[in-house]
Chain A
Amino acid sequence: MELRGHLDLMLLNSVRQLGSAHGYAIIVALRDGSDGVFDLPEGTVYPALHRLERAGLVDSDWDTSGPRRRRVYRLTPDGSAALAAKRREWQAFAHGMRALIGPMTAEGLA
């Protein structure tokens, strides 16, 4: 599935839901939360997380409480605002697309 352009929204949403999480947990949340639909190459998530961090939308820090050092990500206030804006954009897009191609039905999917 083509995810370009939607990855930021998906990652910001996962980080918000998890509160504070390392990359692996975010990827698992993405895969499980989408019923396995978004099973993207895991290596693509870290460059995206780093990009979001440089944009000031997530913040990260080392967690040294476990056996291994882990980078833990959390949403910043700017990240929350960006997530809200991206959600609105996505809802408008989905609304328009639904109006265009019609509601999803069992026959439509077949």
Chain B
Amino acid sequence: MTDSDVDRYLDRLFDRLAGTGGAGRRALIEVEDHLRTAVSDRVEGGMSREDAEHAAVASFGDVRMVARRLRAGYRRAQFAVAASSAWLVGGLACAVAAASVLLTVADRWWEAMQGPAWGDCLESSPCDPAGETAFLLPVGIALAVVSAVLLLSRRVLQRRALLAPSARRLPALLAVLCALLTPALLTGFGNPLGVNHAVVGGSGPGLFLTVVASAVTTTATVAALGWALLRRRRRVQA
């Protein structure tokens, strides 16, 4: 018994999609379903099975062209997802940097209001809140604007189908990164158990900055986890 036209077509497509993994396997299943449905329709319309198979394969297109398009799509998709993810991470990094700088400004203003003996404004090493904030405030605002432009433009381009979505695992990766950042911040700013020491005049930043920075990263962790769960829920619902 010889292979039919459809079987031969599928064998050739299988050979040409080698190395494409699950995406190629899925394409093969779809193509097989398509060709067998097309053959059934033509047979029901009065064609012989042999003619129906020949016509179905012919109207599907040259196997080399189909394989080339499928393979090109996978390559472009990988690049597009990587670019979109990098764009998103860049926007978020600018947002985090902006929040960090603006929190520092807030900390300096708070210290200035509390007097010279508060936090890291020591009598031996006085702070210059006005001087520091004059430099930091424009930097923080500029970073916030850049972040907003990056994130909003990405959203607009995505809605207009000009930009791919980010990698599926990106929210989970961001959640892990933020979760690791919290203890890093706490230990980086000094022993958490000794925060009170910093408040009463030891070296290191004040309680305000330490707690707020940790709260920001914790919130970012929760937000990233929520985003990951929401994406998963949408996929399941779909």
* Chain A residues near B (Cβ < 8 Å): 8, 22-24, 27, 41-44, 46-47, 50-52, 54-57, 59, 61, 68-71, 74, 76, 78, 81-82, 85-86
Contact = CB atoms under 8 A, between A and B. Distances in A.
A8 B161 contact: yes
Nearest 6 CB-CB pairings of A with B: A43-B61, A41-B61, A43-B66, A47-B69, A82-B161, A59-B238
B158 A51 contact: no
Contacts of A59: 235, 238
B228 to A, nearest CB: 16
B60 A54 contact: no
Contact of A70 (B27, B33, B60, B164): B33
B165 interface: yes
Given A41-B60, A46-B31, A82 B66 contact: no
A69 B33 contact: yes
Interface stretch (B34-42, B119-127, B178-186): B34-42
B72 to A, nearest CB: 8
A76 to B, nearest CB: 7
B49 interface: no
Contacts of A61: 238
Contacts, number: 93
Contact of A85 (B30, B63, B159): B159
Tell me whether chain A's interface is mostly helix, strand or loop, or mixed.
helix
A53 to B, nearest CB: 9
A82 B160 CA distance: 5
Given A42-B61, A44-B61, 13 more contacts: A22-B30, A23-B33, A24-B33, A43-B60, A43-B61, A46-B31, A46-B34, A46-B66, A52-B161, A56-B164, A69-B29, A71-B30, A85-B159
A41 B77 contact: no
B23 interface: yes
A47 B38 contact: no
